[in-house]
Amino acid sequence: MSSFILKDLCYSYDNKQREIISHMNYEFKDNKVYSIVGKSGAGKTTLLSLLSGLAKPTQGSILFDGKDISKLNSCKYRSNFIGVVFQSFNLLPHLTAIENVILSMDISGKKILNKKEKALELLNSVGLDETTANRRILKLSGGEQQRVAIARALSYDPAVILADEPTGNLDVETENSIIKIFQKLAHDHGKCIILVTHSPEVANMCDVVYKLSSKN
Ligand SMILES: Nc1ncnc2c1ncn2[C@@H]1O[C@H](COP(=O)(O)OP(=O)(O)OP(=O)(O)O)[C@@H](O)[C@H]1O
Ligand SMILES: [Mg+2]
């Protein structure tokens, strides 16, 4: 069970002349699917980087279960509590889908039994069969890679999933099934799911929608 409280959160890249995130005071709770929407450049990916601890606020703070994340051990925080699906997927191209998922289980340091079976189960749950699971990433389509990235984010059972356009390359049917997986994780397993999306249909399926406005 986890939650985020954003307190007067501000962020600007290097020169600090342009504030991308400005005095934000959102809350994210468990049991819910959130979507972050807004124009290209509005700061959606930046917000996910801040929530994942990859970027540090220039002002204000993010509390995760009441603790300021900038004061937590960031590697442990990321590898235990947060599952991330990046826009670029960040999969290892020469490993198979299943090896990518197992590697992520290993990196988390969590005790996970029957890793291979669990990895295959996760890949099946996002619509990839055993043959595809055993193919190397560089031999998979964009949509298939996206699904591997989702399975990988779920691999160590994190409390929070941060996903940047997780269904961006998928057909409507697969998109629906992925969103249903996220809904189930939130509503039945108490996870906090935060999705960036450009799709009004995906946003409509989420419990809460936060709209970022562009500061340009
Ligand atoms: N490393 C960086 N250094 C400087 N500026 C950056 C950096 N990364 C992003 N920006 C700028 O910050 C703004 C917000 O970027 P961000 O990637 O968060 O937008 P986004 O809402 O995710 O857009 P998209 O929908 O296109 O993915 C943009 O104007 C972008 O050019
Ligand atoms: Mg982005």
Residues with CB under 6 A from ligand 1: 13-14, 20, 38, 40-46
pLDDT at 216 over 60: no
pLDDT in tens, 88-102: 889 999 999 999 999
- pLDDT band at residue 174, thresholds of 50, 70 and 90? confident
- pLDDT band at residue 215, thresholds of 50, 70 and 90? low
pLDDT at 15 over 80: no
What strands, in cross-sheet order, belong to the sheet with 160-164? 82-85, 160-164, 192-196, 32-37, 208-211
CA of 200 to the centre of ligand 1 (A): 21
- Ion ligand 2, residue ranges at CB < 5 A: 44-45
pLDDT in tens, 35-54: 999 999 999 999 999 999 99
Cβ atoms of 52 and 84 within 8 Å: the answer is yes
**From atom 11 of ligand 1, which residue's Cα is the shortest distance away?**
41
State how far the Cα of 153 lies from the Cα of 23, in Å rounded to an integer: 29
Three-class SS of residue 20? strand
pLDDT-above-90 percentage for the chain: 77
Q: Which atom of ligand 1 is nearest to the CA of 198?
A: 25
State how far the Cα of 76 lies from the Cα of 158, in Å rounded to an integer: 12
**From atom 4 of ligand 1, which residue's Cα is the shortest distance away?**
13
DSSP calls for 154-165: HTT--SEEEEES
Sign of the Cα torsion 14, 20, 25, 26 reads negative
Cβ atoms of 20 and 191 within 8 Å: the answer is no
Amino acid at 94: H
Residues in CB range of 19: below 8 A, 6 or more apart: 10, 11, 12, 58, 215
pLDDT at 1 over 70: no
Looking at the CA of 15, name the nearest ligand: 1
- pLDDT band at residue 200, thresholds of 50, 70 and 90? very high
Length of the chain: 216
Q: What angle do CA 17, 22, 23 make, to 5 degrees?
A: 135
CA of 113 to the centre of ligand 2 (A): 35
Cβ atoms of 165 and 123 within 8 Å: the answer is no
Question: Average pLDDT of 67-91?
Answer: 90
pLDDT at 177 over 90: no
pLDDT at 135 over 90: yes
Give the closest residue to 80 by CA, choosing from 47, 110, 104: 110
Sign of the Cα torsion 50, 54, 59, 62 reads positive
Three-class SS of residue 41? coil
Question: Average pLDDT of 60-69?
Answer: 96
Which of 113-117, 126-130, 160-164, 169-173 has the weakest average pLDDT? Answer: 169-173
